[in-house]
Amino acid sequence: MDQTKFDQTKVDAAFLKLDAHKTRLQNTRMRDQFAGDPTRFGLFSVSCGDLLLDYSKNRIDTPVMTSLFDLAHAAGVESKRDAMWAGEHINFTEDRAVQHMALRYQGDSEVVVDGLDVMPDIRRVLAAMKIFVGDVRAGEITGHSGQAFTDIVNIGIGGSDLGPAMVTAALVPYTRADLRLHYVSNVDGAHMADTLKGLDPARTMFIIASKTFTTDETMTNAASAREWLVNSLGDDAVQDHFAALSTNIPACKAFGISEARIFGFWDWVGGRYSVWSAIGLPIALAIGFDNFEQFLAGAGEMDIHFRDTPLEKNLPTIMALLGVWYRNVWGFSTQAILPYDQRMNRFAAYLQQQDMESNGKSVTAENKSVSGATGPIIWGESGTNGQHAFYQLIHQGTDIIPCDFLLAVNPHEMMGQHHAKLAANCFAQSEALMLGKTLEQVLAELDIAGMDEDRAKQLAPHKVFSGNRPSNTLLYSKLDPKTLGKLIALYEHKVFVQGAIWNINSFDQWGVELGKQLAKDLLPNVLDKAGAATHDSSTEGLLAAFKTRQI
């Protein structure tokens, strides 16, 4: 990959300026910044359509943001973005283009990858998906005995599971009660067994999601699903009850899956970016193809915003730069994702893979060790549940944890004051993190409450909130398919920008390979009670203990 646009000298100089800004702002409190500037919200908020990003509750001012944008320019963010759109092989360790944006492209122009326009193939797969989805939902595609499907089980792992499972849960209002989606990913037999309980084989469809059709966990689960079905309906039923999302047509056919029910995708689509491809088939089955197209359209709108909007008004870029500011300059190692929407309770888990698999790297494009920290630890939970779990640490713990709050203005269910209380809690949490509560405020409150002065002095330090803890808030009209697509694409591009600044490859994932390799080596030892000792003493001790406890 051509790294000439990445200027290490300018990047280093930009970070030195940011270090100076940190020193300057070290003792500046956001509550004072807001008090001194009533225009702060307008100054530090941007929109993409009805999606609003309020980033005013951050440890920033205009000079900080200017230096952050200078950093982005020095790192060549714009040129790297253009290279990605042009189909260059920015995934340089695997020598591949990165073109998941083509999967949701709504225009008529060519999208060229390795000299070929990929749009005809994309449209062909989408058209096949549309027909299949329509026929299944209409009951025209049935099981072996002629009964319509009531349950669909997606079997995949990683990007073949996290994205579809998260999106299906988030968009429940757009699903049908008579067509239930289930997701099996873990090779733990409990996951498959618990999913199959209560399902009718005659009315159950399985989708096997594996590009190579060799992923060990997925194929183990697929074999168990096949056995469960065959035991009830016979081997001839397999072709009527299985579909595949894969490029390995011979392996799919050998499994018993009809070629008409094999939906492919391409090597320029990474697993954690594949929800827009045929991997999204279970989503389309759950919410209908028209809604799936809206999901793609929302992501397409964010693509245009990211590609064409100046960095200073660019949502993904601003979020990425704030993340770099905290990760590299302030040394904050984690970030909490806090959607105030129960149906987005898998969003943080999805972003864990999106972010941590992409930017959990320690080698630069020049094969050197990175000089600073890379990807943060991503975690979170839906509000208000998290408030009664880990918010204590966010508010009063010793680590500063930047937070992203997400909230829809309009709920799908109008149930009294439920949504008003949800919104009030969301706004209150970001305000509390910013403002905090001083010792003087606590003492005054305890005095008003009539507490004895000595007791108040003992208790007060425990009720102080340091505040000055940063957060972003993303506000949108409603969590519909288009908005969800836009949100996911926002975080995709944020991760890209951070990888560009850290000068790493955000699109490979070699770190997952070693454990897989060792697991294959260990399996014979687990299965064979007389297995030879070929591992370290700890692993051998665990193997021995495991075997002696087997029933």
Which residues lie across from 474 on neighbouring strands? 53, 406
Per-residue model confidence (pLDDT) at position 521:
87
Is the confidence at residue 551, as pLDDT, over 90? no
User: pLDDT, tens digit, for every residue of 427-470?
Assistant: 999 999 999 999 999 999 999 999 999 999 999 999 999 999 99
Q: Is the dihedral of CA 136, 138, 140, 144 positive or negative?
A: positive
Confidence of residue 5 (pLDDT cuts 50, 70, 90): confident
Q: Do 88 and 94 form a contact (C-beta atoms < 8 A)?
A: no
- Checking if the pLDDT of 335 tops 60, the result is yes
Rounded mean pLDDT, 373-396: 97
3-class DSSP assignment, residue 20: helix
Distance (Å, whole) CA 27 – CA 7: 32
Q: How far is CA 328 from CA 316, 334, 482, in A?
A: 18, 12, 33
Tell which residue, 394, 417, 154, has the closest CA to residue 275.
154
- Residue 301 amino acid letter: E
Q: CA of 96: how far to CAs of 89, 359, 508, in Å? A: 5, 17, 10
| Cα separation of the two ends of the chain | 55
Residue 96 has pLDDT above 70, yes or no: yes
Residue 358: name the closest of 157, 484, 498, 517 by CA: 498
Q: Which residue has the tokens 């007791």?
A: 455
Contact (Cβ atoms closer than 8 angstroms) between residue 237 and residue 220: no
- Spatial distance between the Cα atoms of 327 and 331, rounded to a whole number of angstroms: 5
Q: What is the pLDDT of residue 4?
A: 43
CA-to-CA distance for 338 and 174, rounded, in angstroms?
A: 23
| Cut 0.75: pTM above it | yes
CA–CA separation, 435 and 423 (whole Å): 18
Quote the strand ranges of 246-302, DSSP E. Answer: 262-263
pLDDT reading at 1 higher than 50: no
Catalytic residues: 357, 388, 516
